[in-house]
């Protein structure tokens, strides 16, 4: 895997990041939006290339893959990204991830809130909202978000935002869900809204994304898992 994608360089990622910033600015009218470089499926060189291109926030979906890449990058502070965990998360993986993960974006149930509070006290989390009705994408129903947020605050976690994955297909289909998520973030005074991926980031930015999570627009097609 590493070898086949050894061609991902900081130069390539920089050029794509530039194009990405243009897309974002066109949609945002100049409001600043952070980019999370989603490196799942690619080797540690994609993370090196991202950091080299000035993208310090990196998103990963799978516990073992994240741990392996963090190990490969080692302790070099110049290569230390801000790690965002984006994937479906089993509680029994939290302990191993706790030393590495900076922002837990896919928190969607009480069990996970409690486990993160135990293993990573005071950690920064986003609550994931299920926007598509597809169970395999994770996320809590919108109506459960206020009680989850209250629980997380009770156990000392810093809930700073909401995350959501739009449905596949026409990007315009994501708009109503993004709008509901942003309204809920407003209601709970959560500043971060992590919505939008390569295909639907314009819609997300128009609806108020503060972070977009971008994989293939930066790194190309992911190798099959």
Ligand X SMILES: *Cc1c(COP(=O)(O)O)cnc(C)c1O
Which helix (DSSP H) or strand (DSSP E) does residue 110 occupy? helix 110-119
The 59-98 contact track toward ligand X, x by CB under 6 A, reads --x------------------------x------------
Task: Give me 29's structure tokens.
Answer: 């009218």
Q: What is the gyration radius of the CA atoms in the chain, in angstroms?
A: 17
Using alpha carbons only, what angle is made at residue 86 by residues 11 and 164, rounded to the nearest 5 degrees? Answer: 105
Least spacing, CB of residue 137 vs ligand X, in Å: 8
Q: Is 198 in the site for ligand X (CB under 6 A)?
A: yes
Q: Which of 16, 40, 69, 109 binds ligand X (CB under 6 A)?
A: 40
Contact 73, 39 (CB under 8 A): no
Grouping H, G, I as helix, E, B as strand and the rest as coil, residue 180 is helix
Question: Cβ-count burial of 128 within 10 angstroms (0-12 exposed, 13-18 middle, 19+ buried)?
Answer: buried
Residue nearest ligand X by beta-carbon distance = 215
Q: Is 38 in the site for ligand X (CB under 6 A)?
A: yes
Task: Tell me whether residue 142 or residue 199 sits nearer to ligand X (CB atom).
Answer: 199
Grouping H, G, I as helix, E, B as strand and the rest as coil, residue 41 is coil
Q: Which of 94, 197, 204, 209 binds ligand X (CB under 6 A)?
A: 197
Only one of the segments 45-53, 89-97, 179-187, 194-202 lies at the binding site for ligand X (rule: CB under 6 A); that segment is: 194-202
Of 77, 49, 82, 78, residue with least CA distance to 192: 82
Contact 171, 199 (CB under 8 A): yes
Q: Is 5 in the site for ligand X (CB under 6 A)?
A: no
Q: Is 165 in the site for ligand X (CB under 6 A)?
A: yes
The 102-141 contact track toward ligand X, x by CB under 6 A, reads ----------------------------------------
**Residues at the interface with ligand X (CB under 6 A):** 38, 40, 61, 86, 165, 197-199, 213-217
């Amino acid at each position: 895997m590493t070898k086949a994608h050894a061609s991902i360089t900081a130069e390539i990622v920089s050029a794509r990041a530039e194009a990405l910033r243009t897309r974002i600015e066109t949609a945002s009218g100049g409001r600043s939006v952070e980019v999370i470089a989603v490196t799942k499926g690619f080797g540690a060189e994609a993370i090196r290339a991202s950091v080299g291109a000035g993208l310090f926030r990196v998103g990963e979906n799978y516990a073992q893959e994240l741990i392996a890449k963090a190990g490969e990058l080692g302790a070099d502070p110049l290569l230390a990204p801000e790690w965002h965990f984006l994937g479906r998360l089993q509680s029994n993986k939290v302990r191993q991830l706790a030393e590495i993960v900076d922002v837990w974006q896919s928190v969607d149930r009480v069990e996970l809130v409690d486990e993160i509070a135990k293993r990573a006290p005071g950690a920064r989390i986003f609550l994931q909202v299920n926007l598509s009705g597809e169970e395999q994408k994770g996320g809590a129903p919108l109506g459960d978000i206020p009680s989850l947020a209250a629980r997380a605050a009770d156990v000392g976690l810093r809930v700073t935002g909401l995350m959501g994955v739009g449905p596949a297909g026409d990007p315009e289909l994501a708009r109503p869900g993004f709008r509901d998520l942003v309204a809920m973030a407003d209601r709970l005074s959560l500043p971060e809204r992590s919505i939008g991926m390569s295909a639907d980031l314009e819609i997300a930015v128009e609806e108020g994304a503060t972070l977009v999570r971008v994989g293939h627009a930066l790194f190309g097609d992911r190798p099959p898992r």
